[in-house]
Structure 1
Amino acid sequence: MGRKCFLASGACLALGVATTALAHPVDHFVRRGNEVGYYQLPAQAWKPDPNAPPKFGVDTKPLAASDFAGAANNWLSNTFNLTGGEMQSGYQDPHNGVYHYYAVQKVDGLSIVNANADVHMDTFGNPILASQAWAPVSRLQRRDQIPGPEISAAQAVEGYAKAFGFPTAASQLTEKKNEDGSFTITGAAFADSAIKADLKLYQTDASLEKVWSLSVQRPDAWHVAYVSVKDGALIGKANWQTSNFWNPPAMEAPKARRSIFDNEPIDHDNLVDDYIKLRRRQTGGNTKAIPDTKYRALPFGFKNVQDTPPVLIENPFDQNSSPLGWHDMGDGTGSLPTTVGNNAIAQENRKNAKNPLNNGRPIANDFNFDFPADLAKEPVTYSDASVTNMFFLTNFFHDTMYKYGFTEAAGNFQASNLGKGGKQKDPVVANAQDGSGVNNANFATPPDGQIGMMRMFIFDTTKPNRDGTLDNDVPIHELTHGVSMRLTGGPANSNCLDTLMSGGMGEGWSDFLGVSFGMTPQDTRATDKPVGVYVTGSPKGVRGIPYSTSKTTNPLTYETLNDPKFAEVHQVGLVWNTMLFEAYWNMVDTKGFTENFQDGPQSGKGNALMIQYVVDGLKLQPCNPDMIQARDAILAAEQALTKGDHMCALMEGFAKRGLGVGATPQFPFKNSFDVPPQCQNGGGNKKTPLAPAAPATTGLPAAAPAAPTGLAPTPAAPASSTDVEVVTGAAGDLTTNPDDLLANEANAANDATA
């Protein structure tokens, strides 16, 4: 077999040999409902044999930071036999030394948006976890049959509008070509901002299609939509926007938009600069780099404004996480005495303005944001208090998650990254009392370098109405969506939590941090934790049952997902966080609790360690993971940080809810309450990691290929059938023989049912 070059370059245009048979997946957890969704290619996943010696870096010094990309490229080429890839993002975590590498498949210079690969290595270059979902070679060999763009970008927007029933014609739109070859389309009344369009490839269950990729921000969704260049048909989409609650009471019609600024679309490219100019003109700047600040707000450990009244908090910023403080946007002119800064831009948006640039924000010339909230009155009377709490929470969440590895390089939200990597000009734009809906909240997470958008609504389930920003469960839940979507699949890819299963786990991770950051030293494993009690006015909260370690109070297990009523993302999330909740309490009972959440894993406390394992697991798991892969990523994160000391505590938590060693990702799901042998019979926390699945023959190359041009060779032993776990789902057996691919596709397609 000849050498296969992984990185796409002019010197290496060979086609890759695919390792999976392509078919429409059987698993109904792959798609969200019956609407046009995001096609997920069958994936192959790798994890190490715990009994095998390391394959890289034995008796050598750690790899230099500059060598990791080459080592990752070499490993993917060798192990999965991939070619035609391009690095999307890569970074190294300082707390555990793990290097994360994410790639996308390219053909003739165009990215296949749903063909991804990732590998994660320790400081010596030993792989920890990896996965690939590459388009099969049989599709790529027909790339010369893929037509050029037969419709314009504006016509693609017309096709998108037609799919959703918006009366928009291409003749009504204005199309502008940008320097990078993309297009900007304006004039679409249904969009909150200009629509960005560029040419991509998209793998469907039948063919590889050339598409216009459209970024469409609407009040109810932020779609990345894939429209065929042949006929303008919408053939795929992902949604970068997530909502907190399932089936809220009927939403009222959006209120009429205001004039002046408010009907102007958001200019994402210049938004940060526009805010800087406007706020400086209206409020002036403060020459002191970081002024003393006070906020009347609900800190972590407080649930809501009813149970624990807001307190005045002084100088809560962390200077390592926010070197500029919370009110300086990094333009060199100092802090602004309003709720605008490097991490967040917060304001009220009761009248549902498309662009909240000129909306109301509290101003405190002495940086003392002390505003009362009279809960006996309607929320409109205390909007300054609401915006202040939201600004405080968004910033404190930023600083806290920075301690757990959600940094600039990992794709966090900042106006200025201060030269620390990643893409900037993407703070969180947070709207309190947003007029686009009621009884809910949402967060939109585009790729790194584009603003995150959080909308918090009024809840009319009580009289007087209640404000979602004053129930910490809600904003923390939404902010966590930004974390999970930026970390899964890397910061450049926001399409990696878009299936029913992965999107459902996204809801679970959001509940997990919401619950974890609401814990107090008085809580025990017997303390039940409902979510959204204040905004709903119900002790059951929004999920209907609390998170609990009691299987009488909360009986959910892995098999619960077989119930059709649980084929919904928030219900999937309820099951997933029930599992995380069990593991959390095993860790707290083992290692204790810190109420200073910014202590991070250095504290050695169980709650901080569990949060770290979950965050690191997000980085390690593949694009659109299932629960087994997400569990294994958390276990791999524990192994990387604490060397297996707490593997049993984690596995016992998962196994209690059916996600034990015998659980599989195939539908219908079956409970496994088994733990690894070393955790049985009072074995406790042993250091042996979870054993891999039964060996599978994969036909991997028998020798390592040469290193890519310009990269130093990295020693590599051949991958064997004993250290590869193949995840086939319902897509048929894996193969590396390109002659068999079409037959396998046909056979799998015949077996598949939607």
Structure 2
Amino acid sequence: MGGLAEATSPVDKALKFATETFRLADNQLVVKNSYTSTDTGISHVYLRQMVGGFEIDNADMNINIDQEGKVISYGSTFLAGDHEQILSLVGDRPLENQADAHHGPKTPKINSLAALNAVLTKVGLPDLGKTELKETHSKDENGQAVITYAKVPGSVDDHTTLSLSYLITGRGRVEPVWDVVLHTVDDWYNAHVSRASGEVVAMVSWKSHVSYNIYGIGNSNPLRGIRKMTANPADIKASPKGWHDNGVAPPFNDTMGNNVLAQEDQAGTFEWTNKKRPSAGKDMVFDFPIDFKKIPAKYTDASVVNLFYWSNLIHDLYYRFGFDEEAGNFQDNNFSKGGRSDDGVLAFAQSGKGMNDAWFVTPPDGSRPTMNIYNFNMTTPLRDASLDADIIIHEYTHGVSTRLTGGPANSNCLSTPEAAGLGEGWSDALALLLQLKSTDTRETNYGIGAYVSDRAEGLRKYVYSTSVEENPNQYNSLNGWTTPEVHITGEVWASILYEVIWNMVDTAGFEKNLGNATAEAGNILVIRYIINGMKLQPCNPTFLAARDAIIQAEGAITKGKYKCQLWKGFAKRGLGHRATNVLGVRFNSYTVPADC
């Protein structure tokens, strides 16, 4: 064991302990991770057993060493025995797949593409067929060969990896396998495929298991939608620890997490540090009853869970579209990805501060924003806006537009009356975009807040419609107001964007999976144009500047392919190529550029 006899560091002590306890040579194990806890001073060392120079992926050992250098506990799934004894456990397979005592596994019978196909089939994705993948070869930190494939169908990144390893099977044998890591839209898998048979012999999902009884996408009106259990909705790219873990404290089993801290505020105090929140228990099931014949205070837990769910869902969706850590998104822990942390959203349901309202306060990046959702008394009994997804999306989007316009350190770039009105319009338009259904057409009308108001047009003067008879809003509708009311201004802007939305959907189609942010579908592209337009536009933009930023975003993303669809949508409502604002008087233009 050479230098390990004089082991001094925690890692050396752990290696010495493992080799002596399990009669292993130094080259039969590898250090996967180690650190010392600042709370206890205990060092934690994590080892993996190897055979023939390759890891046995489920042969793991953790060793805990106190400040005096003593091993105080350990856990292990290691196989006992020397190299030859462990090789004798390798299961039956053709000679070409066996491990040589000195050189490890030889050429596998099942190649890497066949193994990848087996995993794709297992998770319900189409196989590769004739798809040609870009293949690169590298080595990991331990010198193990890794094959990486880009553009795997159904994956969400260019980092699908395969490597050779072994696995202890349930029969006490050691199986030569391909170790496959595949990241899909809604999960992240680590699978092991037999190199002899091509069978998927083991698969682990890295997604935590939690479920919520909520009104999901397309069900903004609870009286018309279906409430159902939704399991594991967190997007691991946007929320790498899930929705209930900030990577610092132990995971929460209530409505707290890295992105959102949700609670009721019936007293109207905005107190949140000592709140009793809905608990999912050890099984992590958030399922609480609702009785719409009763006042909202009788179903508070269900309300808070719905608010928590939607706030996290929007966080994850906007992350896919570019509202990430560097752009100033809302997270307590940014996981070293840039931006300022400690600013997860404080979300209050059933606020006792008033009635018929909701708002979102957005300080600069690094300071915690607040979303306050009220009850509405436009019906009997009261209706709870925390169950109306339109309102939650609308309010959360205020935070997005504020952080993106002028940069995350400046919260003053939507402060003029027209710019503030644009903020209201983006919030309505994106609420519409996130609620559209594949069965909708340009003849489909929508209202914002239809549930809480019990009106088809919701909380606005008109329904959102492509019919100028049902919604007559034009760019010059802003005239006649000394200081335009922000919601009226916003309604005009969202009415214009609704035309743009349908021009794009009619031309480029509709994508049901909103998490597929790279799809060239009309609804997805409009979200991308709007989000990137916010980043491009100046501080305190006008309608004209916001329009131009969206056109510029289209040029950057789709190189002018859909420019004319955008211009025609703007022009239909008077914000065409020659629209002007002269000393606060808006003049409509229904023209488009000559090349359209």
State the TM-score, normalizing by the size of structure 1: 0.51
- 1:55-94 counterparts in 2 under 5 A? none
Contact 2:456 2:463 in 1 (8 A): no
In 2, Cα distance between equivalents of 1:410 and 1:383: 33
Q: Is 1:532 the equivalent of 2:446?
A: no
2: distance between equivalents of 1:545 and 1:370?
36
Does residue 670 in structure 1 map to residue 587 in structure 2?
A: yes
The letter of the residue matching 1:438 is M
CA distance in 1, matches of 2:538, 2:219: 34
> How big is the shift at 1:289?
8.7
Q: Distance in 1 between matches of 2:208 and 2:399?
A: 28
Partner of 1:307: 224
Q: CA deviation at 1:359?
A: 2.2
Partner of 2:553: 637
Alpha-carbon separation, structure 1, partners of 2:545 and 2:227: 40
The 5 A counterparts of 1:538-553 are 538-553=455-470
* Pair 1:330-2:241 in alignment: no
Q: CA deviation at 1:428?
A: 0.4
Identity in percent: 47
Kept in 2, the 8 Å contact 1:291–1:335? The answer is no
Question: What does residue 33 of structure 2 align with?
Answer: none
Equivalent position amino acid for 2:305 in 1? T
- The corresponding residue for 2:60 is none
Aligned to 1:429: 346
Give how far 1:665 is off. Answer: 2.8
Opposite residue 545 of structure 2, the aligned amino acid is Q
Q: Do structure 1's residue 648 and structure 2's residue 564 form an aligned pair?
A: yes
Residue 619 of structure 1: aligned partner: 535
Of 444, 468, 473, which aligns to 1:556? 473
Which 4+ residue blocks in structure 1 deviate beyond 6 angstroms?
A: none
Helix, strand or coil: the match of 1:357?
coil
What do residues 278-317 of structure 1 show as CA deviations (whole Å, max 9, x unaligned)? xxxxxxxxxx996310001122222121110321100000
Alignment correspondent of 2:575: 659
Q: SS at 1:564's partner residue?
A: coil
Kindly provide the amino acid, as one letter, of the partner of residue 657 in structure 1: R
Give the match for residue 260 of structure 2. 344
Q: Could you tell me how far apart the structure 2 residues matched to 1:307 and 1:403 are? A: 29
User: What is the match of residue 288 of structure 2?
Assistant: 371
Runs of at least 5 residues in structure 2 that lack an aligned partner in the other structure: 1-156, 158-204
1-structure distance, mates of 2:427, 2:519 = 23
Alignment partners' CA distance in 2, 1:488 and 1:561: 22
Is the contact made by 1:301 and 1:595 (CA closer than 8 Å) also made in structure 2? no
Structure with more strand by fraction: 2
Q: Pick closer, same or farther for the CA change 1:657–1:385 going to 2, 3 Å.
A: same
Match of residue 360, structure 1, among 276, 297, 305? 276
Quick one: structure 1 residues 523 and 289, their matched pair in 2 at CA, closer, same or farther if it must change by over 3 Å? closer
One-letter amino acid of the counterpart of residue 370, structure 2: M
Q: Find 1:383's aligned residue among 297, 300, 303.
A: 300
Equivalent position SS for 2:359:
strand
Residue by residue, what CA displacement relative to the aligned partner does 1:438-459 show, whole Å, maximum 9, x if unpaired? 1110100000000110000011
Whole-Å separation in 1 of the counterparts to 2:489 and 2:591? 22
Choose between structure 1 and 2 for higher RCO, CA contacts under 8 A separated by at least 6 residues: 1
Residue 566 of structure 1: how far off its partner (Å): 7.8
1:705-729 Cα distance to aligned partner (Å, 9 max, x none): xxxxxxxxxxxxxxxxxxxxxxxxx
- Aligned to 1:471, which of 365, 388, 402? 388
How far apart are residue 355 of structure 1 and its match? 2.1
> Alignment partner for residue 579 of structure 1, among 496, 499, 502?
496
Q: Give the CA RMSD over aligned residues.
A: 1.6
AA matched with 1:618: M
Q: Secondary structure at the residue paired with 2:506?
A: helix
In the TM superposition, residue 465 of structure 1 has moved relative to its aligned partner by: 0.6
Code of the residue aligned with 1:603 in structure 2: it is: A
SS at the partner of 1:297?
strand
Q: Secondary structure at the match of 1:650?
A: helix
Matches of 1:509 and 1:566 in 2, distance apart?
19
Please show how residues 492-507 of structure 1 align to structure 2 within 5 Å: 492-507=409-424
Bigger Rg, structure 1 or 2 = 2
Contact 1:327–1:341 (CA<8 Å) still a contact in 2?
A: yes
TM-fit CA distance, 1:563: 2.7
SS in 2 for 1:308: coil
How far the C-alpha of 1:648 sits from its partner, in A, is: 0.2
Kindly state the Cα deviation for residue 330 of structure 1 after the two structures are TM-superposed.
Answer: 2.0
Quick one: distance in 1 between partners of 2:450 and 2:530?
25
CA distance in 1, matches of 2:400, 2:387: 21
Determine if contact 1:488/1:619 at 8 Å carries over to the other structure.
yes
Report how far residue 469 of structure 1 moved.
Answer: 0.7
* AA at the equivalent of 2:410: N
Give the Cα–Cα distance (whole angstroms) in 1 for the partners of residues 365 and 358 of structure 2.
22
Q: Secondary structure at the match of 1:501?
A: helix
TM-score by length of 2: 0.64
Partner of 1:57: none
| Unaligned stretches of 5+ residues in structure 1 | 1-94, 96-287, 680-754
Deviations 1:315-371 (CA, angstroms, capped at 9, x unpaired): 00010110010001220x441100000000000010112422222310011110011
